[in-house]
Amino acid sequence: MHALRIVEPEPAPGPEDDLALVRRAQREDTAAYDELVRRYQERVYATVYHMTANHEDANDMTQEAFIKAYRALKTFKGDSSFYTWVYRIAVNKTINFLKQRKNRVQMSLNDMDFNAEHDPVLVALISHNTPRRDLSLAELQEKLNAALQKLSEDHRMAVILHDIQGLSHEEIGAIMDCNVGTVRSRLFYARQQLQAWLADYLK
């Protein structure tokens, strides 16, 4: 008779694991860095994508941010978490890129996940909370993207990191190199602007 073996679930990757991987990557262990990329690629990509509103640009920026982070890994002391540090690199790179790209606004608006159409919150929002009952999801997305692109880079970044990525004010402050008060005021101002621009869809 076999004894029952209780299998302990594997602990979720925490900051300690990240640090161990970073130490290995600092000794030029690319397998360790590959693991770090896999952990944070989606978040970094999403942030850059929402800032640039273009998949190709987001792809380039994400790759370059991770390559830059690898080359600068020797300077990483572990004062902040690895993901805050990578985010900071990606954010600065994206803001610099957007300043150069000022006159070339592109948007790819057909990347909406199919699941969005079945999300009850969104369906309710569109069918009940807007005066335009015939408004399609794609139309609302288009208006939202246009409104987001009207915000300054710093305000847009604050909204993306908080309302889309779900980061705390403190984390955003560490990433954007500013204090929590500045983050709050940027969020407040950005939401006020978005409310004004999307007023028709909020009644």
Partner 1 sequence: MEPSHKQTVRVERIIALKRFEQPPPGYFHLLPDRIIRRIEKGEGRSGFWESWVQALSIRPVLAYAFGLTVCGAVTVGIFYSPKPEAAAGVTGQMPASPWAVSPPREEMAGESDAQRGLHVANGFGSTNPVMSSETASMFEAADERAIPVSFFQDK
Which residues would be at the binding site for partner 1 (CB under 8 A)?
Answer: 30, 33-34, 37-38, 41-42, 45, 49-50, 55, 58-59, 62-64, 66-68, 70-72, 75, 85, 88-89, 92-93, 96, 111-113, 115-116, 119, 121-122, 125, 129, 137, 140-141, 144, 148, 159-160, 163-164, 177, 191, 194-195, 198, 201-202
Q: Is the dihedral of CA 120, 45, 80, 35 positive or negative?
A: positive
Nearer to partner 1, 20 or 196 (CB): 196
Count of residues in the chain: 203
- Residue 103 Cβ vs partner 1, minimum distance, rounded to whole Å: 23
Find all residues with CB under 8 Å of 183, minimum gap 6, and list them: 158, 162, 169, 172, 173, 176
20 vs 116 by CB, closer to partner 1: 116
CA 154/CA 176 separation, integer angstroms: 8
- Indicate the residue among 5 and 167 with the shorter CB distance to partner 1: 167
Q: Is the CB of 11 or the CB of 120 nearer to partner 1?
A: 120
Distance between CA atoms of 91 and 23, rounded to whole angstroms?
23
SS3 113: coil
Nearest approach, Cβ of residue 45 and partner 1 (Å): 7
Shortest separation between residue 165's beta carbon and partner 1, angstroms: 9
Q: Provide, rounded to whole angstroms, the least separation between the CB of residue 77 and partner 1.
A: 12
Q: Which is nearer to partner 1, 19 or 193 (CB)?
A: 193
- Asked whether the beta carbons of 32 and 25 are under 8 A apart, the reply is yes
Of the pair 2, 203, the CB lying nearest partner 1 is at 203
- Nearest approach, Cβ of 187 to partner 1 (angstroms)? 10
Contact at 8 Å (CB) between 193 and 150?
A: yes
Query: Which residue, 177, 172, 141, is CA-closest to 159?
Result: 172
Residue whose entry in the numeric block shows the structure tokens 């509103």: 53
Q: How far is the CB of 180 from partner 1 (least distance, A)?
A: 16
Best CA proximity match to 148, nearest among 45, 52, 48: 52
